[in-house]
Structure 1
Amino acid sequence: MNTLAAKVSRQHHLFARFASVCVLVALALLLLPAVARADGYSMTQTYIGATVEADGLLSVVEGRQFDFDDDINGVFWEINTGTNQQGGTAGVDVLSVEEEDTAFNKVDSANKGDSGVYTVEQTGDGVRIKVFSPHESGDSATYYVSYTMTGAVMNWADTAELYWKFVGDGWSADSDDVEMEVRFANAAAGTAAVKGDNFRAWGHGPLTGDVSLDEDEPMVTYT
């Protein structure tokens, strides 16, 4: 496991609530909207760890490495919500923002040049996070955003389904080298996962991508 993946995995286990039993679900993921807009950067690595909790809450940690080719004051990080296929509105609760091993403080407002703080704004399309972290051209920085989401998991008569866009096309730069893991809280203690039966997954995105299922964990991995 690479450094970014290990950090996300460790951080995710710190805040995720592993509760009771989760029956295995049919899973569909759109790898196409967390969105950030900033000029003068590339994202050379992205790792996302998500856990479907027993109550349907989705716990997520995103880690992204930014390489800057311009002087910047920080980055925007937008998490789109919208509605699911059942007509329900998704909601996002931002839990924390970190750079490397430094936790940022949430504030109501901040100004250009501020550092180590972030703001969260509700928009018509979701949640916008402004991360205040000045860097010079040539710097690299890795940020971690932790949040929970309601409405991404839908409960049907015969199954439950996670159908959501985690990597959007609205960034100013491509998300390169993306890996994502989806786990299910305490699922191993409940109904056994059987690939192709009660445990399925699809990915919609680049044709070079890969989707794999581990029915022992159980876990879905997207690259």
Structure 2
Amino acid sequence: MRKFQQFWWGLLIFLGIFGGWGFHATSQVLAADKSYTVGKVNIGAELKTDGSMQVVEQRLYNFSGDYKFAYRDFKLQPNQAKIPGRTESYELKNFEVCEEKNCYRQLRPDQVNWQSPRENPVGTFTVRQLNDQTLRVQWHFSAVSVSKVFTLKYVVVNAATLHGDTTELYWQWIGSDWTVFQENVRVTLGLPMGIPDDQLQAWAHGPLAGVVAIPNPTTVNFYLPRLPSGQFFEGRVVFPKGIIWASAKGTSSLSQIQAQEAKFIAETQAKRLKYEQYFKWLARFLTGLAGVMVLGWIWMMWRFWGGYKDKNFFLLFFWGVVRGAGVEFSYPPREPP
């Protein structure tokens, strides 16, 4: 009987570990009274010959709980750590915020309750410059455990950068300040006519799964299946001068940009190789761990069987289950009277 007890205690400990982990994960989910996700992102951008870019961002928000407002921040200063060859700030204007059937009314920043944003009128939005580097668009609505599609429209007045021998668009489609992941990010960038096929180049920066494609000289597509929180997704495009006639001035050259991108590609390939090696070792470790668990289970069953050589030990194994179901049962089997 002692070995039988050891068997059941081992089984209970095994189930307790995994059951406790599942309960912990479930309790964490239940403890959050509200949350949201962004399930789909479509961004359309059109670069004009005056260097401006019209942008339309559409996001599917899935709300769980009561929500009254959302916001989107824009970085106005080029990231000098990336040596962009540009110091002029980006200028944004002509903002619009819409749902599927209606667009919101814009409020001046002094008409907005910034201390209690949930108290602002539903169906309104505002634009406020937080500092010399950040511009915020905030909109107000009512959502209780529903899904909503929000469309944000704006114009980047000086999106393009005119360098010495090339024109560049270097734009961050999604910044790293988001606290939730975003899925199915698709960006379609339209370019002016007249760019030669063999002189258009494009790169995507961000997670390793991001891809960029040039189906024709007036279109560049960017795609990312999932963008984790705290990470960014951006695109860079270069083409000959003369197509864009006005915009911000830059100090880089085509060769410098290509050298930067070659370095980024080498770093990305090294990172991808590192991740591949990591997952290979992880797969081996998990396979080995599974093998150890199976061997441990076999050993525990062997110890149990070794103490009960009766051919009817299966009845003993399921005795607790059968009794729990309310079925009359006895071990060892008794002869009928």
TM interval, shorter chain, is 0.7 to 0.9
Post-superposition Cα deviations, 1:123-163, rounded to whole Å, max 9, x if no partner, equal 22232111101111x20111111111133310122210001
Query: 1:56 maps to which residue?
Result: 51
The answer on 1:180 being equivalent to 2:180 is no
Alignment of 1:94-173 (within 5 A): 94-108=94-108, 109-111=111-113, 112=119, 114-124=121-131, 125-136=133-144, 138-173=145-180
Task: Give structure 1 regions of 4+ aligned residues with deviation exceeding 3 angstroms.
Answer: none
Report the Cα distance in structure 2 between the residues aligned to 1:170 and 1:89, rounded to whole angstroms.
19
Report the Cα distance in structure 2 between the residues aligned to 1:123 and 1:82, rounded to whole angstroms.
13
Output the TM-score relative to the length of structure 1. Answer: 0.74
Q: Greater relative contact order (Cα 8 A, min sep 6): structure 1 or 2?
A: 1
Amino acid of the structure 1 residue aligned with 2:207: P
Report the Cα distance in structure 2 between the residues aligned to 1:97 and 1:58, rounded to whole angstroms.
17
For 1:71, which of 66, 69, 72 is the aligned residue?
Answer: 66
Amino acid of the structure 2 residue aligned with 1:144: T
Structure richer in strand, relative to its length = 1
Amino acid of the structure 2 residue aligned with 1:135: A
Aligned residues: 177
Query: 1:209 maps to which residue?
Result: 210
SS at match of 1:161: strand
Report the Cα distance in structure 1 between the residues aligned to 2:157 and 2:200, rounded to whole angstroms.
21
Over the aligned positions, Cα root-mean-square deviation in angstroms equals 1.6
For 1:42, which of 34, 37, 41 is the aligned residue?
Answer: 37
Mean CA deviation greater in 150-159 or 96-105: 150-159
Rg: which structure is higher?
2
Post-superposition Cα deviations, 1:38-95, rounded to whole Å, max 9, x if no partner, equal x721100011111110010111110011001121111111122113632111111143
Mean CA deviation greater in 90-99 or 45-54: 90-99
Report the Cα distance in structure 2 between the residues aligned to 1:115 and 1:155, rounded to whole angstroms.
42
SS at match of 1:171: coil
Identity of aligned residues (%): 25
**Taking structure 1 as reference, are residues 106 and 114 closer, same or farther at Cα in structure 2, changes over 3 Å only?**
same
Amino acid of the structure 2 residue aligned with 1:50: A
Task: Report the Cα offset of residue 113 of structure 1.
Answer: 5.1
SS at match of 2:153: strand
